[in-house]
Structure formats: C-alpha cells, structure tokens
Amino acid sequence: MPPPATNPPTINPPSARTPLAHWHAEHGARFDELNSWQVPIAFTTEDAEANAARTGLAMADISLVAKTILRGSAVTEFAGTLTGNTQTSTAGRAVPLKTDPSVLVCHLQADQLLLLAGPSSKIRLDQLLSQAGKTSSVLQIDMTSAFTAFWLFGPHTNDALRKVTHYDVAAMPPGSCAATGIAKVPAILVRPPTTTIPSMRILLGWDLAEYVWEEIFRAGKEWNISPIGMDALDLLHQSPK
C-alpha cells in the first residue's frame, strides 16, 4: 500500500534582487524585503542619509519600481486618460498619475510613454492599464526587469550629472523627461514634478547598472556622494524640508 499523500511544504519564492545587490552588500547595506524584492534599507542611519540628500548629494537604487513602456498612435489620448492633464500630450513632460501621484506618466516621444512607479506606489501598473482599457493601437511592454533605476538627490544633482552627460540637465524643469545618455550609455532622465529637493531619476539597461552607478559616484565624489536606502527615501517623502 502506498504511503498516504502529503501536501508539499510551502516554499516562499526567493526575493528578487537589483543588479546592484553585490555593490550594496560590499558597502555595508542592511537589507529587507519589499514587494518580493531584497532591497537596501540603510547604509548608515536614515537621518544621516536623508540629510545627505537634502544638503549635498546622495543616490538610491530604486530598480524594484514598476516600469512600463507604451507605444502607438493613441498614447497621447491614453496619457490624458491616465493623468487628467492635457500637458501630458507634450513630449518631454512627466506628469503624476491622478489616482496615485507617486506614479509618473512620462511622454518620451510622440508615440511613446513611460509609466514609472515610485518606491511608495500602492497601485500596480498592470491593474491600472487593465482598468484604463486595452486598444490595439497601444502596445504595452513591461520593462521592470529590463531597466534599472536610480534616484539622485541633492543641490549638486546637476553638477554631478554634467560630468557624465552632454545633455543640458539644467534646462530640464520639474516635471520633464528626456531620452539621452549617461556615461556613453543610453538612458532616460526624469525630473520629478516636486521641487522640495533637487533630484533626477535615471533609467538604463539592467546589465549596465553597476558601471553607470560607479561612474556617477566618481562624478559626485567632489560633493561626497553617498548611497541611501529605502528608510531614508521614506523619511524624505514623509517630512520634506
């Protein structure tokens, strides 16, 4: 007689890791899990890291955030539906989602949008797009694991970026985006609409993450650039100063 059937043990799926996980570990990061991702929550203390972002130069790895590219002739109308803002129809604009301002709708080109979630976003982009309706004239591409993403903060954001790009970052107003290059690598720059702390989100190919991260750190050495974790990001958004 065969032994009685037993239920297999429940195995938690392994946490996803950003392409900079090894770098973070080598630089003393403390890790935790967020949305099934292993992320650095702190390198020193959240207060010290938040202060670096406010007064000098600091950078966070936000590769875990959801990223979706939309392409097609109807993206302008689609963007207006998502944001309730006619400014989204202009290429080069980055406008908050009306139902969750932490999500940015970035109009990169006439027929191309980037939906970029924030670390604190509560809404799932796939559900959002499903609710917005599907159309054959808009192609949706999930880029979450294709693009890495950094968030550079501080009064010296533009100074550091000038050393790694020929693009005129100083000419990018709040709520703008551009497809350009960083350290000779194709990249997307997004200037968030909020202006409490000067900052720039940077997206590029997953496999080039560590190279570009270290290039930005070399460029920012003059201003004592430091890495910051998710705890400091939360602090920055909870109590802007």
Contact partners, residue 77, CB within 8 Å, separation at least 6? none
Ordered structural domains, the chain, with CATH: 20-65+145-238 (3.30.1360.120), 67-142 (3.30.70.1400)
Write down the pLDDT at residue 5.
46
Cβ pair 38, 17 in contact under 8 A:
yes
Write down the pLDDT at residue 89.
62
What distances in angstroms separate CA 111 from CA 40, 139, 162, one per listed residue? 35, 10, 28
What is the rounded CA–CA span in Å between residue 126 and residue 128? Answer: 5
Q: Which letter does DSSP use for residue 93 in this model?
A: B
**How many other CB atoms are there within 10 angstroms of residue 184's CB atom?**
13
pTM (whole model) above 0.85: yes
Write down the pLDDT at residue 6.
44
Structure tokens at 193: 């609409």
The percent helix, strand, coil of the chain (3-state, each to 5) is: 30, 30, 40
What is the rounded CA–CA span in Å between residue 125 and residue 136? Answer: 18
Q: Scanning the structure block, which residue is given the tokens 């100083």?
A: 170
Write down the pLDDT at residue 88.
56
Write down the pLDDT at residue 8.
44
Give the pLDDT of the chain (241 residues) as one tens digit per residue.
544 544 444 445 558 999 999 999 999 999 999 888 999 999 999 999 999 999 999 999 999 999 999 888 777 777 777 777 655 567 899 988 877 888 898 989 888 889 898 876 766 777 766 655 555 677 888 899 999 999 999 999 999 999 999 999 999 999 999 999 999 999 999 999 987 899 999 999 999 999 999 999 999 999 999 999 999 999 998 754 4
Write down the pLDDT at residue 9.
47
